[in-house]
Structure formats: structure tokens, C-alpha cells
Structure 1
Amino acid sequence: MSFSTLMYHEIRKEQDFNPETPSHIDVKQDYDDVLPAPLFVTLEHFEEQMAYLHDQNYHTLSLSEVKEYYSGKEIPEKSVLLTFDDCFQSIKEYAYPILKRYGFHAVAFVVTSWLQDTPKEFSPEKSVCLTKDDLADISDVFEYANHTHAFHQRSNATTSMMMEASDEELALDLDICNQFVGVKDVFAYPFGLFNERNVSLLRKKGFVLAFTSESGSNDRQTDPLLLKRNVVPYFIHLDAFQKII
């Protein structure tokens, strides 16, 4: 028995999305970055994907079910874990009503220093972060886990701020994020970047699941602190989507 984890970041209506135009983030922290086109999915494709999961009787896993799976408990044969990184506006604007309609469950990985103090109008031109109140509004579908407090930054394509931090700095950062998120022993590596020291610290801190950006499925031979996730890019068609789940 194995399960696939799907990774989403942003959703846009096809008419609003230009893959040639990078989307700058709008977050509370003093940090600017752009989301590359493959981290977007069109609303039309997302609706099609969720309808397929529903029609094929897929079970959307909770993090507690994944933990139990690694403790020896079985999961339904058709199981998938839906994850959304960074908590941008589109998860409330687009993902939430679709997931709620189908009775699906999802996980959002939160960068707590990115959460806005006050809500902003939805903007398809930028990747704007939600507020804590926004996340509370959609918590009947989403559960929240750790994506760092302030270390979701990168120096270059292969090095993140988390990798450069000391163990003491990272431990404090994880604790700050855990003051907000409900699930305090699950982590997603920012940008999918990490080193062995980071994994070791998570283990020492009592984290039991951590998600990479490496594609593939997860079974009981997969290290639960190195779980795989499949990016769902904007250009993927349903036949390709079916193959990654």
C-alpha cells in the first residue's frame, strides 16, 4: 500500500494566468520573491482534478491518518494527501469551495511571518498571503502545519535560509510557527531544500513527518521525514494527473 501527496501553491483562472509573467509574492515579512509558472495550476484543471478524485472514490488523507500509517495502520486503497504551500489567497478564493463541495480534506503549510495583519482584496496579478482569520474561516477543510516562521527565504536556487541557520536559530523559528499551527509535529521544507542537519534537528524536536519536493509515491519504506510530493503544474492534463496519483 502506498499513497501520493499532491503539492499545490497557487490557482488562477486560465484567462487570468500568463505563464510568461512571474507572480511576485505579497507577504507581511520584508521579503520579495516570484513564483515560477509550474507552481500554478489553472482553476479549470483544478476543478477537473478534484472531480476526478471524487468520481473515482479517492479518500483525502489527514495528517493523523498518515502518522497512523507509519505506525502500522492501513489506509484506504485509493488515498491521496492534498497539500498547499504558503497560504496564498487562491486557496480560500478557489480551492476551499471546491474541496468543501466534495467533502475533501487538505493540508496547508504556513509561513507564519508571511501572514497579513489585515485581509487584502484578491489580486490575480500577485501572490498575496492570507491572514490568520482567513485561515480560521476555512479550517473545516484545511489543517495547518509548519513551514517555518521566517526562514522561507532563499539565497540561490540550491540554498535556503533554513540551511544556513544554526540549529538553535532553526529550533526557535520552528517553535514560533508551532505557536499558531494546529499540527505541531509535521513540516514541509521551504523550496524543497534542506540538508542532513535540518533533518536531524526535526527528528530531535519530535517531528514525525516532513515533506520534500521530490516526486514519487510514499510507502512504509519511505523515511517519514523525507516524504515525497508531486507538484501539480499548470500545464498538466488529466491523463498525466492520473499517473501521479
Structure 2
Amino acid sequence: MTTTRAARRRRASRRVRARRTLVATVAVALIAGAVAVFALTRAPIAPSETRAASGAPSSSPTPTPTPTPLSPAQRLLSTTTDPNACAVSFAGDGIALDPQVQTQGVRYEALPIPRADGRVFAGWYPTTSDASALTASTRVNGADLVTCTDRERVLHAGWVTPQANAAEDAGIPILMYHQFTRKPEGEDGWLRGNYAYVGDFDAQMAYIKDADFYLPTWDELSAFIDGALFLPRHSVIITDDDADSSWLELAAPIVDGKNLLTTSFVITSFRTEPTPNKFVLQRSHTHDMHRAGADGKGRMVNEDADTIAADLEQSARILGAKEVVAYPFGHYNDTTKEGVRRAGFELGRTIEPGYVRIGTDKLALPVVRINYGMTVDDLKAKIG
């Protein structure tokens, strides 16, 4: 009996322990499940937080790079969408000029002519060595076509002393042509001397081209007269009077083919067509003053200053430029000059023979007239 009771107590005790073990196991499983659910629903911990929690050092975020500032030339180019735009910058001693937008394949326009006390500007050059040596064959001005690399170019300033400028003693010839003919024997009539044989003209232009003459622009000539710009003796300005049909048909293509800057003086009451090519500047031969006035001389010496100025203003509106006027028949006087000044023209060209020098009257520029029969040797004797 006693043995049986003891056995029953032992079996009961084992059942209690088994139930306790089962309850503990279930409790552990429930806790583990709750922890898993909590881990799945909680936001991920950032690596930096993990490193901070673990005590590991954290690295700062990569900074945004600062853009390289644009150069003045690059800023200028950013203002245009023209694929042929070229930013031309200027360098040299004492030069503090903003860059200019020029157009590749077109002649340079309005290049600056800096002035400085105690020295004379001697032009723009492609390199510092050319600027130092004043290499005339490389000097850049409005007679040259714009060329660039990657839409940019730098021009370097040359300088000379006033003493060196005076010692050069340059006399600048302004060649004056009129009409042209295909006949080697020339034309008949009282205007025979005006007609240059086109074969002679071609040879003369070839000489100027091959001999590397410098071709000053009119603003350069004005600065030269002031003593503010150095021009080499080996310089020449080519002009034609009247814009005759023979000039347009025979001569203009020659200067275009040789890339020679030329000025055609146009009577705008007769002709209003645009320039025949990019190497021909069209400037005023007046609008309607190329006629005789009351005394038989040109209207430029028969009209008052206001009438002359009004005529020149009309001419300038048609041509889109002022700068220089060629006096019809070469007639001018003080009233003529006053009218020219009132119209805003800086230069006046006569038919008087001579060379432009420092100090020449800007409203009485002399010329070298080219007559029929003049050869290359004749031209050399005139211009060197």
C-alpha cells in the first residue's frame, strides 16, 4: 500500500515538472516571436548610427565641388549662341581692356587703340615676341580676317617711344583710283587718265600683297596723325572714287582675291547697293554734292555748313558709316570743313598730292593719284 502511494506521488511529481517545462518552452517561444516582429517593424538603423552606437569614428559627407569660375572671355562667349563668335582678349604692359566678341571669317572690327603718356601704341600682335619685335607682317588690324582657336584669341600690345615714332618718319600714301578698263591701250576721251588698265591694277595689287605692306584702317590713320599710333613706313591705303561699274566688275574682285583692304568712296544718290565683298569698305563721296554749284565748282564749296552736314548725314545713313569723306572734284574750303565736322566725320580726303604724316590736317588728307599707264615700277617709286 505504502509502495503504491509512493509510486503515485512520483508519477504526479513528474507530470507537474513536465507541465512546467512545457509552459516555460511556450513562454520562450512567444517572447522570441515578439522580438522578431519588433525587429521587422522597426526602421533600419543608419550605418552612421550603428558606428556611433558602437563607438567607431564616422566620416563627413563628400563636399559638393566648387565650380571653376569662368574667365572674362568665357563669360563673354556665354552671352552668344553664334558658333563663329570669337572672344578676343588683349594683353601687354599697361593693358586693362575687356575682351571683345569678333566673328571668325570676318574682318576685325573696332579693335582698340590704347593711349598712354610717354609712349606710342604700335599695334596688336599674335605673340609677345612679335609684339616686342614689332613684326609688321604679323600685325593684326581691321584689314585682317578673324581666326581663333577654340573660339578664343589673345592679342598682344606693342609699344614704342615717341622718339622712335618720330624717327620712323613715316609718310602714308593714300592711293586714288577711279575707273578701270580691259584695254591695254586705254580709253579715249578727256577722262582717259582716270582709267587704269586692269592688268596693271592686278600687278600693282600683287606687289602690295607680296611685299607685305601694312594696310592701316581709317581710325588708325587718325591716331597716327595725332602721334598716338606707330605706323611703319611700309604702309599704304588703297581707295577708289565714285564706285564706278568698272570698279565693281573688274577691280573689286581682285582686291577680294588678294585679301586687300580697300575703300570705295560712293556717291549715294547714284548707288546704294551694299559692299561688293568683305574687303571693300564703302565710305562717303557725299550724297548729292558731286555736282557743280553756282560758280561752276563743286557744291561742297557752294553750300553752307548746315546743308553740307545734312547731305553727309544722309550719305552716312545709307552707308552705315561716317569716318571719312572724299571731297567731290577735290573741292573744299573752311565752310566745307565745318560742315564735315558738324556731320561727325573725322577725316576728309582731297586730291592734292602728298603723303599723310604726323600732324597732317585731318580734313585735308593728300593722295597719290594713279593714272592710266602707271606700272608696278611706277607704283614702287611712289610707295617704296
Unmatched runs of 5 consecutive residues or more in structure 2: 1-169
Change (3 A) 1:6 1:156: farther
Structure 1 CA distance, aligned partners of 2:330 and 2:294? 13
**Structure 1 equivalent of residue 379 of structure 2:** 241
Structure 2 CA distance, aligned partners of 1:158 and 1:45? 34
**Structure 2 equivalent of residue 184 of structure 1:** 322
Q: Which string of whole-angstrom CA distances, capped at 9 and with x for unpartnered residues, describes residues 14-72 of structure 1?
A: 25832x335xxxxxxxxxxxxx1221111111011111112211122222322332341
**Structure 2 equivalent of residue 97 of structure 1:** 253
Structure 1 CA distance, aligned partners of 2:295 and 2:262? 28
Does 1:11 pair with 2:176?
Answer: no
Q: Of residues 283, 290, 314 in structure 2, which corresponds to 1:152?
A: 290
Q: Which string of whole-angstrom CA distances, capped at 9 and with x for unpartnered residues, describes residues 53-96 of structure 1?
A: 12211122222322332341112431100111111112221212
Unmatched runs of 5 consecutive residues or more in structure 1: 23-35, 116-130
Moved more, 194-203 or 184-193: 194-203
Bigger-Rg structure (1/2): 2
Change (3 A) 1:158 1:219: farther
Contact 1:39 1:231 in 2 (8 A): no
Change (3 A) 1:205 1:107: same
**Structure 2 equivalent of residue 68 of structure 1:** 223
Cα RMSD after superposing both structures: 2.0
Change (3 A) 1:165 1:240: same
Number of aligned residue pairs: give it. 213
SS of the residue corresponding to residue 74 of structure 1 reads: coil
More strand by share: 1
Q: Which runs of 4+ in 1 moved over 6 A?
A: none
Structure 1 CA distance, aligned partners of 2:319 and 2:216? 18
* Percentage of identical aligned residues: 27
Offset at residue 230 of structure 1 (A): 1.2
Q: Of residues 209, 213, 232 in structure 1, which corresponds to 2:347?
A: 209
Contact 2:177 2:239 in 1 (8 A): yes
SS of the residue corresponding to residue 212 of structure 1 reads: strand
Does 1:86 pair with 2:239?
Answer: no
Offset at residue 226 of structure 1 (A): 0.6
Contact 2:289 2:299 in 1 (8 A): yes
Offset at residue 200 of structure 1 (A): 2.4
AA at the equivalent of 1:48: A
TM-score, length-scaled by structure 2: 0.52
**Structure 1 equivalent of residue 233 of structure 2:** 77
**Structure 1 equivalent of residue 94 of structure 2:** none
**Structure 1 equivalent of residue 331 of structure 2:** 193
Change (3 A) 1:81 1:68: same
Tell me which of the two structures has the higher relative contact order, counting C-alpha pairs closer than 8 angstroms and 6 or more residues apart: 1
Offset at residue 221 of structure 1 (A): 2.4
Offset at residue 155 of structure 1 (A): 4.9
